[in-house]
Structure 1
Amino acid sequence: MSIYRIAVADGDSIGPEVVHASMDVLNFLQDSIFSDVKIEYREVEVGWKGLKSQGSSLPEESVKKMEASDGLILGPLDVGRYPVGDPGGPSPSGKIRKHFDLFANIRPTVSYGINRNYPDGEVNLVIVRENTEGFYADRNMYMGNGEFMPTKDVAMAVRVVTRRGSQRIIREAFRLAAARRQHVTAVHKGNVLKVSDGLFLQVFGEIAEEFHAIRADDKIVDAMAFDILTNPQKYDVIVTTNMFGDILSDEAAGIAGSLGLAPSLNSGENYAMAQAVHGSAPDIAGKGIANPIAEVLSCGMLLDWLGSRNNDPRLAKMSYLIESAVRKLIVKRENLTPDLGGHGTTESITRGIISRLEEMKK
């Protein structure tokens, strides 16, 4: 019988709260419904915990434990707040993405009716964001940093768009669309960034020719920033470069009603990391009101990825049950956290998800 090994890093601020809630859900599924599925969870230190105990926000020991695992659950981190000179900074998650070549950042957006402009079930789109190059200076260079100052009065940043990077993220988008509503939209700024986005669009057109059954179109990022809020129902899979995808997916979280409902999966050929879209929210840390849903759903996405990779339908079923339980909880509007307009707590949401899973078990 296969044993899956998943590394778990609590992260910073609200990280331990939402990760522990997610683990409660995963452990219930494994103990009460899928007792034949063997998953071992291994704690690793990332963030302040690693910095204090091992001198780095991303200790080498933690990376080795991740390498010995099938995937990673990562809590939100205090990115940008670690001290100068931290070997793991400024973004441990960026370094993890680069180390494991997690080129695809999959960020779904679903409407639950929390935002009254978008009724429950009306919107279901996914943003596929290139994750290893673009303008992100912490991961777009083989050596050194993609942001620098040639003089004290001039700051410069390098944008990296490669044919290989474009090919694999665009293929991932078409692969996802084939199992959805068969529509892919490329988002770009090709009217200004004619060379870098020109290459991205060229590759998009080439790959679209391989998928005749899937509708392919493109949109300038300015127009998409407006249209994704006014007509999100039009879109199925949106594929774009790193920074555009990061910004648009945070904007799209408004459709769901909160960043606390925005999950994501960072995946490569051989590894994947569950990581909620939202940040570490230090202003509410320790208050017991952090919304764990995004992290819970991200864990479900990791299970689905592992199930697909290992041809194990049980993991896909676990992912489906998590998503279904979350929807039932939100639609009932019971004990929701303040970001969703309720007066509930992290614990009440966790209990609510587990209660819905118990109901489905019957």
Structure 2
Amino acid sequence: MNPKTTIERAKEHFGKIIEEQLNRVEALKNSETRENWTDYKSLKPIVIGVIGGDGIGPYISRETRRVLEFLLRDAVESGKIRFKEISGLTIERRVEVGQTLPDAVLAEVKNCHVLLKGPTTTPTAKDGSWPNLESANVALRRELDLFANVRPVKVPEQGIDWVFFRENTEGAYILGSRGVNVSDDLAVDFKVATTQGSERIIRLAFDYAHRNEINRLTVVTKANILKATDGKFLGVADYVAARYPAVKWDSWFVDIFAAKLLDPKRRREFRVVVLPNLYGDIVTDEAAELQGGVGTAGSANIGKRYAMFEAIHGSAPRMVEEGRAEFANPSSLLRASVLLLRHIGFVAEAEKLETVLDFCSREKSKRKLVPSGRSDGATCTEFADFVMKTIPKI
């Protein structure tokens, strides 16, 4: 192709993206003043949508729902809580209809208040098995404006008590499927940061620290290199921090911050961490390893109107292929359920579940107590049964 034509096509593609993002900025400005946070106390019923997803997702979501129904049985009977099964967010169905987020699924999702979601498969460009679809998670976060990804990590014996606030709707992921192959030799992706998007996640993190009397907040960027986008994020943090004089804050570059999470002395100092999308995804997986692995950490995706709670690991198709899906560990989704329960106001139930999961984590040396992913451990169903059997003893 003629170089001039190639450049013009790339410019046209980039121009459309800029136009979309400018429109999005205006929408963000309007939503700040017009949209209120959902009041779960006044809702009846609170509709919890359950999405199985792909791979081991249906196994762990089924058992997690059983545990939640056990904990919330009185609320279900009174009509305060209603569970709704949502099917169709599988890789097969998404490919069949040619949509990352099928219209029918999105319509059902929007009739819920919160979602409990199993992992979904995201193909890569080199994966010949499926078309190169966008991540269903990214699409859901965008469509529902779930701007805050909140991931707690706690290892008391190591002095670790962290809460990560990851920006969820901007950064390198929001346009991850919109990059352009300019030529056979040149590919360009895009990273987005807005004042409004940065401010709301940073404000949420500062507000959390303030309300919980935590006098330490860390902002993580690579602003020394990515001077426009990360520079904006850091600049907005400086602006927001002025409103919270009681919260001491500092900033770290993501590479050295990731290293210091492995430093037993330094990492005790971190408490609340706020960071852009891509860094948050990577760093929180690293942090989860210190807690026992990504299979032990849950994740909350929070917006003003909707919220979604999920495991932070993938769909593990190999476990299904090898016939080991029934031995999948539902702990990550159960940890996410703790966050779900707190979010909708069932704090006592959340504390019971968290206490049982902490106990199971400490007792994992008893091989038949906790799933190991193989036949030497408990099945997903056996573990859920054990959790429900233990809850009344708390």
Give 2:220's match in structure 1, choosing from 172, 178, 187.
187
Secondary structure of the corresponding residue to residue 230 of structure 2: helix
Q: Give the number of aligned pairs.
A: 338
Secondary structure of the corresponding residue to residue 217 of structure 2: strand
Q: Which runs of 5+ in 1 are unaligned?
A: 112-118, 308-314
Q: Which 4+ residue blocks in structure 1 deviate beyond 4 angstroms?
A: 32-37, 52-57
- Seen in structure 2, the aligned counterparts of structure 1 residues 39 and 339 have a Cα distance that, compared at 3 Å, is same
Secondary structure of the corresponding residue to residue 257 of structure 2: helix
Say if 1:47 and 1:58, in contact at 8 Å, map to a contact too.
Answer: no
TM-aligned CA deviation for residue 318 of structure 1: 1.9
The residue that corresponds to 1:310 in the other structure is none
- Seen in structure 2, the aligned counterparts of structure 1 residues 41 and 53 have a Cα distance that, compared at 3 Å, is farther
Q: Counterparts of 1:28 and 1:167 in 2: how far apart (Å)?
A: 39
The residue that corresponds to 2:25 in the other structure is none
The residue that corresponds to 1:234 in the other structure is 269
TM-aligned CA deviation for residue 37 of structure 1: 6.4
Q: CA RMSD in A?
A: 2.3
Q: Counterparts of 2:118 and 2:268 in 1: how far apart (Å)?
A: 30
Q: Counterparts of 2:180 and 2:80 in 1: how far apart (Å)?
A: 47
Are residue 161 (structure 1) and residue 197 (structure 2) matched? no
Say if 1:132 and 1:242, in contact at 8 Å, map to a contact too.
Answer: yes
Say if 2:298 and 2:336, in contact at 8 Å, map to a contact too.
Answer: yes
Q: Deviations over 1:323-354 (max 9, x none)?
A: 111112222334122269x7333223212221
The residue that corresponds to 2:20 in the other structure is none
Are residue 13 (structure 1) and residue 58 (structure 2) matched? no
- Seen in structure 2, the aligned counterparts of structure 1 residues 212 and 71 have a Cα distance that, compared at 3 Å, is same
Further displaced range: 14-23 or 146-155: 146-155
Percentage of matched positions with identical amino acids: 31
Give 2:86's match in structure 1, choosing from 44, 52, 74.
44
The residue that corresponds to 1:103 in the other structure is 147
Q: Deviations over 1:183-206 (max 9, x none)?
A: 110001111112221111111011
- Which protein shows a greater Rg? 2
Secondary structure of the corresponding residue to residue 250 of structure 2: strand
Output aligned runs, 1:170-185, within 5 Å.
Answer: 170-178=202-210, 179=212, 181-185=214-218
The residue that corresponds to 1:324 in the other structure is 355
Q: Deviations over 1:109-140 (max 9, x none)?
A: 112xxxxxxx646311011110111111xx34
Q: Deviations over 1:169-218 (max 9, x none)?
A: 10111122121523110001111112221111111011111001111111
Give 1:128's match in structure 2, choosing from 165, 184, 187.
165
Further displaced range: 75-84 or 182-191: 75-84
The residue that corresponds to 1:208 in the other structure is 241
TM-aligned CA deviation for residue 224 of structure 1: 0.5
Secondary structure of the corresponding residue to residue 328 of structure 1: helix
Give 2:289's match in structure 1, choosing from 236, 254, 257.
254
Secondary structure of the corresponding residue to residue 283 of structure 1: helix
Give 1:77's match in structure 2, choosing from 120, 123, 127.
120
Output aligned runs, 1:280-319, within 5 Å.
Answer: 280-285=315-320, 286-287=323-324, 288-307=326-345, 315-319=346-350
TM-aligned CA deviation for residue 232 of structure 1: 2.5
Q: Counterparts of 1:180 and 1:244 in 2: how far apart (Å)?
A: 26
Q: Deviations over 1:69-97 (max 9, x none)?
A: 11111100111167327xxx321111111
- Seen in structure 2, the aligned counterparts of structure 1 residues 343 and 180 have a Cα distance that, compared at 3 Å, is farther
Q: Deviations over 1:45-83 (max 9, x none)?
A: 212363377664522111111111111111001111673
Give 1:275's match in structure 2, choosing from 305, 310, 316.
310
Secondary structure of the corresponding residue to residue 135 of structure 1: coil
Say if 1:189 and 1:220, in contact at 8 Å, map to a contact too.
Answer: yes
Return the TM-score normalized by structure 1.
0.87
- Seen in structure 2, the aligned counterparts of structure 1 residues 346 and 120 have a Cα distance that, compared at 3 Å, is farther
Give 1:4's match in structure 2, choosing from 46, 71, 74.
46
Q: Deviations over 1:221-262 (max 9, x none)?
A: 111010012132211111000000000001111110111111
Q: Which runs of 5+ in 2 are unaligned?
A: 1-42
Q: Counterparts of 1:289 and 1:250 in 2: how far apart (Å)?
A: 22
